[in-house]
Amino acid sequence: MRDKINAALLVGLAVIAVSCNPSKKYEEEEKSIIADYVADNNITVAPDKHGLYYIELVPGSGEYIETGDSVGVHYKLMFLDGNEIDSNLAPTVPFRFRVGSYVIDGWSIGLTYMQLGTKAKLLIPSRLGYGSSGYSVYDPLYGYRTIIPGYSPLLFEIEVVELIKARK
């Protein structure tokens, strides 16, 4: 009997601990922000299995990008309220990297839906972006400065301007 009471107490404590988890609150708020953005902007595409929304603006041509391919892109990063965070649209040199390395998961996944010349928007939930911790930079004068708070969904506009297929 005593073991049953102890087990019930442990289950009860576990339920209380999970319900008091503040991350659940932030995750629910993020879901609501994404749902509002999708509704307000008449987005008709469904999220993929990862929760990423891929919104094609200009179709590309040729082979689809795969993990391991090298790409050059122009991009603009925004919060869902429209405030721009970062961009490389002005430079003549694209941002170059190997897909699956050095970028957030949302990019690695979203780029596999694209071809050379594709221009698309990626609505990326925080779990595929900068997660619960966000993104900060260190400034020697002011210390750490938060650029992207935790649990922030992000909107990227990406244009693929270079594609070098990986050797097989």
pLDDT in tens, 36-45: 999 999 999 9
Q: Is residue 16 part of a domain?
A: no
Q: Is residue 141 part of a domain?
A: yes
Q: Is residue 83 part of a domain?
A: yes
The reported pLDDT for the residue numbered 13 is: 44
Find, among 54, 91, 97, the residue nearest to 72 by Cα: 97
Q: Is residue 11 part of a domain?
A: no
- More confident position, 134 or 168: 134
Q: Is residue 20 part of a domain?
A: no
Q: Is residue 103 part of a domain?
A: yes
Overall average pLDDT of the 142-167 stretch: 94
As for how many domains the chain has, the answer is 1
Query: Mind giving me the DSSP string for 22-72?
Result: HHHHHHHHHHHHHHHHHHHTT--SPP-TTS-EEEEEE--EEEEP-TT-EEE
Q: Is residue 63 part of a domain?
A: yes
With tokens 């997660």, the residue in question is: 131
The reported pLDDT for the residue numbered 102 is: 85
Does the reported pTM lie above 0.95? no
Q: Domain of 75?
A: 26-164
Overall average pLDDT of the 126-133 stretch: 94
Instruction: Kindly report the CATH number assigned to the domain that includes residue 119.
Output: 3.10.50.40
Q: How many C-beta neighbours within 10 Å does residue 59 have?
A: 11
Q: Is residue 21 part of a domain?
A: no
